[in-house]
Amino acid sequence: MDFLKLLTYFSAKSKCLLLAFLLIICFSSSVFSNHFTLSKIASLSKPWGMSFIGEEQVIVTERTGKIKLIDLKNGDVSEVAHNLPYKTIGQGGLLDIIFKDGYVWVSYTQKIGILRYGTSVAKGKFNQKKINFINIFQQNSANSSGQHFGGRLLIEGEHLFLTLGERSLGRVAQDPTRHPGSIIRINLDGSIPSDNPHFLSKSNWGPAVFQIGVRNPQGITKSPNGRQILISNHGAKGGDWIGEIEKGGNFGWNVLGWGGVNYNGSHIGPKWKEGFSKPLKYWTPSIGVSALAVYSGSEFMEWNDNILVASLKDKSLRLLKNLNSNNILEEIIFVGLIDRIRDIEIEKNTGKIFLLSEKYFSETGPEEDGLWILEKN
pLDDT, tens digit only, all 377 positions of the chain:
343 443 444 444 444 444 433 433 343 467 767 689 999 999 999 999 999 998 899 999 999 999 999 999 999 999 999 999 999 999 999 999 999 999 999 999 999 989 999 999 999 999 999 999 999 999 999 999 999 999 999 999 999 999 999 999 999 999 999 999 999 999 999 999 999 999 999 999 999 999 999 999 999 999 988 889 999 999 999 999 999 999 999 999 999 999 999 999 999 999 999 999 999 999 999 999 999 999 999 999 999 999 999 999 999 999 999 987 888 999 999 999 999 999 999 999 999 999 999 988 555 554 579 999 999 98
Cβ 61 vs Cβ 95: under 8 Å = yes
Q: Note the residue count of the chain.
A: 377
Maximum pairwise Cα distance, the chain: 76
Considering only CA atoms, which of 213, 151, 173, 214 is closest in space to residue 342? 151
Domain ranges of the chain: 34-376
Q: How many CB atoms lie within 10 A of CB 80?
A: 18
What pTM does this model have? 0.91
Please give the class, per CATH, of domain 34-376.
mainly beta
CA distance 266 to 262: 5
> What's residue 25's pLDDT?
39
CA-based torsion, 157, 55, 103, 293: positive or negative: positive
Cβ 196 vs Cβ 206: under 8 Å = no
